Amino acid sequence: MALQVSKLSAWYGQARALWDVSLEVADGEIVGVLGRNGAGKTTLLRSIAGLQPRIDGDVTLNDAPLAALRANDIALRGLALLREGGKLPASLTVSQNLALGRRLARMRGKAGREPAEVWHWFPMLEALQERRAGLLSGGQRQALALAVAFVSEPTLMLLDEPSAGLSPPVAQDLFATIGQLASAGATVLIVEQHPAWLLGVARRGYLLEIGKVTAQGTIEELLRRPDGNDMM
């Protein structure tokens, strides 16, 4: 199992944000976490990635416990977190950002994916190799952030609201690429406020409400629930 989360709780000061959240992601699987704003989706990813100051519970990546590790050490173990908005070094070009991803792969003991494979999965980036990340559109920036994570050969990618700020056609293209990456061996956990984007992409999902997992199943099953359908 790539990721196992068991009875995970998280706090901001005295305010509790997650209550005993449990979920899992198998190797080569794309799993979604659905929920409205404020449900705790980003806190969940921060807790898995080692960025949340106070948590309780168990998190394992490839059966190795993460709870006592710092965020940098967790990243070296193979976890890649893509923050909302595709945040990248704005002054670096597309090629330079991808080079950082390959450097991280080598730090993980892997070779990093070759440029030809990047252009295959992210064809829009090939013509933008010398453009600075800060000059990219929102969709291009999200695609680059995903490509940088992909070339670093992570065990697991965590995607935080990848559709945020994107027009529907751009979001559709991005999610199509995310779905295709599973065939290249990618393992992905996506948190998303708009569950329709996960149809045909995520194999299954969890519904998060006010910091608690209230349902799980296929994305179609979750959308048939009254509380899931309200997010459409």
Judging by DSSP bridges, how do beta strands 3-12 and 15-25 pair with one another? antiparallel
Mean pLDDT of 92-120: 95
Cα angle value 223/227/230 (rounded, 5°): 75
pLDDT at 194: 87
Distance CA(136)–CA(175), nearest Å, equals 18
| pTM of the predicted model over 0.95 | no
Residue 192 is which amino acid?
E
Question: Predicted confidence band at 231 (pLDDT cuts at 50, 70, 90)?
Answer: low
How far is residue 199 from each of residues 21, 124, 179, 192, 221, measured CA to CA in Å? 23, 23, 10, 12, 11
Residue 230 tokens read as: 């309200």
Distance CA(43)–CA(128), nearest Å, equals 33
Label residue 69 exposed, middle or buried (CB < 10 Å: 0-12, 13-18, 19+). Answer: middle
pLDDT at 183: 84
Distance CA(126)–CA(128), nearest Å, equals 5
Please, what are the domains in the chain? 3-229 (3.40.50.300)
Distance CA(186)–CA(30), nearest Å, equals 8
Mean pLDDT of 145-156: 95
Is the confidence at residue 229, as pLDDT, over 70? Answer: no
Express each pLDDT in 175-223 by its tens digit: 999 999 988 889 999 999 888 999 999 989 999 999 999 999 999 999 9
Is the confidence at residue 227, as pLDDT, over 70? Answer: no
SS3 (DSSP) at 50:
coil
Express each pLDDT in 17-72 by its tens digit: 999 999 999 999 999 999 999 999 999 999 999 999 999 999 999 999 998 899 99
Do 17 and 40 form a contact (C-beta atoms < 8 A)? Answer: yes
Residue 4 tokens read as: 């196992």
Is the confidence at residue 155, as pLDDT, over 90? Answer: yes
Question: Predicted confidence band at 124 (pLDDT cuts at 50, 70, 90)?
Answer: very high
Q: What is the CA radius of gyration of the chain?
A: 17
Do 186 and 78 form a contact (C-beta atoms < 8 A)? Answer: no
- Which residues in 93-122 are b (16+ Cβ under 10 Å) and which e? bbeebbbebbebbeebeeebbebeebeebb
pLDDT at 67: 81
Residue 61 tokens read as: 């990546």
Average pLDDT along the chain: 93
Percent of the chain with pLDDT over 90: 86
